[in-house]
Structure 1
Amino acid sequence: MDIKQIINEFHSLESTTYKDNTYNVISLFDLPHKLGTSKEHYPMFFIATNDAPYNIPNTIRELLSVEYDMECTINEVNGNSILRKFAIITLRSSDKHLQSYFIEIFAMMLMKMPQQPSKQELSIEVERLVTIFSALSATPRKKIQGLWAELLVIERSLDPQILINAWHSIPSSKYDFTLGRDKIEVKSTSSEERIHRFSLDQLNPSPSSRLLIASITVRESGQDLNGLSIRDLYDRICNRLQNIEAQIRLYTIIAQTLGNDINKIDAVCFDYITASDTLAFYDYQTIPRILKKDVPSNISEVRFVCNITKLKDITTSNSFDKNDSQLFNSLF
């Protein structure tokens, strides 16, 4: 399925002008489902489910609505007209960037479902879709620079699948990547020196944990061969993934992180060459830190800034043992 072709066809599709439940649609290649438009030119997926009985309530959210067993007439661009019941998923937004993201993410979900899914199978993916687009109406929880840096670590890794599986499910997690006892925290800076801000907890993991700090110099750039956006890194990572589930997880975390700033997925670019050349990894035990035992019990939310410029990158020596770590071995 060529998703970009589908997106282009949707944007050129005439808005529905009918008063009744009749809609203009385009085909999704060999799938029985359709993509259409409302009179406001909102994108609508018409999903042909099987006849298995299953009672699922409709979902109406700020940006997304999901309605099951809706009888309507769809008019295809080739002149065919079909009357039947569909499950209809609508994104209520006229923002073209948001529309494209909606079409892309749900088209990926359709590719991993049976050709005619049951309402129960569809509802599982719909819940994930609701999670993504509910996040888009929330306040962004992390700066774009930090997200870009985390994506760079995934993109530069030997096995992005492992990094994606270990990536935080919510942006406020203590560590960016966690797999068992092994953890990675990504820090970015735009200055000449590696000066990073840490919370007390970040540099005081549990005694059996192993923690690497990834440090990157990230500088804003114009969009060119070396100036890449979040979208560019996302595309590069997806080109290395065979698993659609991993692509969906990747997109979900991007959406949850950016919230209403999702339009900046294309708008802000950073220097890929500088970031790649400066990507380094440090054993947390070598970083000067405040120990928990030294903090009075009535003091909380301790944060501090540390300059790690002169510390030794573990990739330049054999002092760090990563042989039994799936997470660390996926990095380099």
Structure 2
Amino acid sequence: MSQFLGALSGSVEDGWGFEEFLAFARRFADLFRDTPDPSDEVIKGLWGELRFVSETEDPQALLRGWHASPYSVLDFELPAVAFEVKSTESESLRFHFRDQQLKVRREDGWVVVVSLYRSESGVSILDLLARLSVRLSPTDYQQALSKSVDVLGSALLGVGHIKFDLRPFGIQLTRMESLPVIGSIPSSVSNVSFIQDLNGLDESGWRGLDTVPALLR
């Protein structure tokens, strides 16, 4: 993996585009043979995160906080705002959360719900990466590619046929502080997780993507 990412870094800085990256990555496929196939949930999760990034006015700002640290509990953590993305094919908005995800950035954190469905006329993860390639600096583009490889391994090269599109209500955001959390948890208890039902949220509690630019400033 380090060999691949090191070579990838130099190649992107030399001005490679997305097609060049794919050709290059295929030559390194042997490095990933032991990588387990990702689940549908993992594929949908990465698609939702990349779609969220691609729909914003400033993808570079958002990507700089994308899984920025191995210790990050949220998908995007920036100095002034944080986002946790939940992707779903279901109309029922029930999601798994770890306890800390709703507490660590309670005042400036947002849950982003990406409602999607499979569609042959939709876009794949590779399509989303290709779109981002013309909007990002070489450094940020390399980050997006390398983090996608971290998630999918060699399967990144085989997900081009898996396409999704957004449902009519698309991408919605709600404040973390509007969601209930578990109270005091004994120090001897860890890795607490639960299902949060967002179906009961008042309509006024939801925001659209037009909220994001001001949050990133």
Is the pair's TM-score, using the shorter chain for normalization, greater than 0.5?
yes
* Structure 1 position 310 matched with structure 2 position 188: no
Q: What secondary structure is seen at the aligned counterpart in 2 of 1:289?
A: coil
* Structure 1 position 210 matched with structure 2 position 108: yes
Aligned CA distance change for structure 1 residues 299 and 220 (closer, same or farther; 3 Å): same
**Whole-angstrom distance in 2 between the partners of 1:134 and 1:213:** 37
Contact 2:114 2:170 in 1 (8 A): yes
Q: What secondary structure is seen at the aligned counterpart in 2 of 1:279?
A: strand
Residue 16 of structure 1: aligned partner? none
Matches within 5 A, 1:269-284: 269-271=163-165, 273-274=166-167, 277-284=169-176
Describe the superposition over 1:271-306 as per-residue Cα deviations: whole angstroms up to 9, x where unpaired.
2x32x7321011001112213x2x233222111111
**Whole-angstrom distance in 2 between the partners of 1:156 and 1:62:** 30
Residue 148 of structure 2: aligned partner? 254
* Matched length: 200
Q: What secondary structure is seen at the aligned counterpart in 2 of 1:143?
A: helix
Residue 131 of structure 2: aligned partner? 236
CA shift, 1:170, in A, is 6.1
**Whole-angstrom distance in 1 between the partners of 2:15 and 2:114:** 36
State the AA in 1 paired with 2:117: R
Greater RCO (Cα-Cα under 8 Å, separation 6 or more)? 2
Normalization by structure 2: what TM-score? 0.76
Contact 2:82 2:105 in 1 (8 A): no
Contact 2:113 2:172 in 1 (8 A): yes
Which among 104, 115, 118 is matched to residue 220 of structure 1?
118
* Structure 1 position 158 matched with structure 2 position 51: no
* Structure 1 position 286 matched with structure 2 position 184: no
Larger radius of gyration: 1
State the AA in 1 paired with 2:43: I
Identity of aligned residues (%): 25
**Whole-angstrom distance in 1 between the partners of 2:157 and 2:35:** 14
- Give 5+ residue unaligned stretches, structure 1: 1-60, 67-88, 90-101, 113-128
Which is helix-richer, 1 or 2?
A: 2
Task: Quote the RMSD (CA, aligned, Å).
Answer: 3.5
Aligned CA distance change for structure 1 residues 172 and 264 (closer, same or farther; 3 Å): farther
Normalization by structure 1: what TM-score? 0.52
**Whole-angstrom distance in 2 between the partners of 1:254 and 1:171:** 15
- Give 5+ residue unaligned stretches, structure 2: 17-24
CA shift, 1:215, in A, is 0.7
* Structure 1 position 298 matched with structure 2 position 191: no
